[in-house]
Copies of this chain bind each other. A is one copy, B any other.
Amino acid sequence: MSSIYGNKLKISIFGGSHTEAIGMTLDGFPAGYHVDYDALSAFMERRAPGRNAQSTSRREADVPEFASGIRAGVTTGSPITPIIKNTNVRSSDYDGICNTPRPSHADYSAYAKYGEHADFAGGGHFSGRLTAPLCVAGALAIGLLSKSGIAVSAEAVEIGGETDKERFAGVIDDAKADGDSVGGIVECTVTGLPAGVGGPMFDGMENRIAKAVFGIPAVRGIEFGAGFAAAGMRGSEHNDPFCIRNGRVETKKNDHGGILGGITTGMPIVFRTAFKPTPSIGKEQDTVRLSDMTETKITVAGRHDPCVVLRAVPCVEAAAALAVLDAMMEDGIII
């Protein structure tokens, strides 16, 4: 029911695509961390809209102002609240969406839940714009994790069915030229983790990461290690033999994705996330008019990304970093 995540380190996200501001409160972040504003800006820039030819033409500065929690560049231990003004609002683009829901957007389900007063403008609270405050939190988490030698790194490994990264831009351009969109897959790796983080059953590392990652709009699936491919393997093939490397216990390969029984093994956590194609496309689509329950057509206006996958890469890193940091703080490894 909530836009809140985390057990010990809790993020509470607010705002909508066309509200006055968006932001979040990060509660439980340790005191004494020196914020690297350059790293934060660089991280935000990777997610920001309007940065390349393939992205939406909507530009937002996406500069967070910290209302609290940081003093003289250092975290105080109190809740951290960055606020990002929505400067480039065109809510008139969205008039009447409530009555004619856009296919594969949240318009209809949000209407079913919240009724006519829901904020439909640009997806409202369901907008991908809400990943901006997620990324602020993620940048802080990544920065703190790096002090413990932990690195979080994601990349797009497939876009529109294409796995050759050099062709990604072309695939997206083709979709855009057709008034269409494409999805893709992001792979994320977390290295440097000690063994023993997490727990069995419902608060295992997979559960935690999955809960965070499905908070990013357009995610349709997540798999760890060999993932769905493991379903077609035999145990003798899938099992990862233990070995000693440099005096440490490791596995000879990493089909388990760094997690066994919900607990880290010390091998890198590896997971992949599937993103659907952007539901906003230039083509006319079938929909319904809720006011009189008749069928009708819609052509979605507004400025939209033909592909969110590249911009989603830092969002996946942010979600993973929050999940990992929260687990390590709960385990008392990072205090």
User: B242 touching A103 by the CB < 8 A rule?
Assistant: yes
Known: A79-B12, A201-B3. A68 touches B104 (CB 8 A): no
* In the complex, chain B residues whose CB is within 8 Å of the CB of A238: 104, 183, 276-277, 279
Q: Does A266 contact B (CB under 8 A)?
A: yes
Q: Is A206 an interface residue (CB 8 A)?
A: yes
Interface residue? A232 (CB, 8 A) = yes
Q: Which residues of B contact A251 (CB under 8 A)?
A: 103
Q: Per-residue CB proximity of A191-206 to B under 8 Å, as 1/0?
A: 0001111111111101
Contact B252 A331 (CB under 8 A): no
Residue contact A283 to B108, C-beta cutoff 8 Å: no
A118 cross-chain contacts in B, Cβ below 8 A: 31, 76-78
A-side interface size class: 35 or more
Please report whether the interface of chain A is mostly helix, strand, loop or mixed according to DSSP.
Answer: mixed
Residue of B nearest to A226 (CB): B220
The distance in angstroms between the C-alpha atoms of A13 and B27, with both chains bound, is: 9
Please state if B331 and A261 are interface contacts (CB–CB under 8 Å): no
Instruction: List 15 interface pairs A-B (beta carbons < 8 Å), by A numbering.
Output: A2-B202, A4-B203, A19-B68, A24-B25, A103-B239, A104-B240, A108-B260, A112-B265, A185-B231, A221-B221, A221-B224, A239-B281, A244-B288, A244-B293, A244-B294
**Shortest 8 CB-CB contacts between residues of A and residues of B:** A106-B261, A221-B223, A112-B196, A332-B332, A241-B286, A181-B235, A112-B195, A109-B263
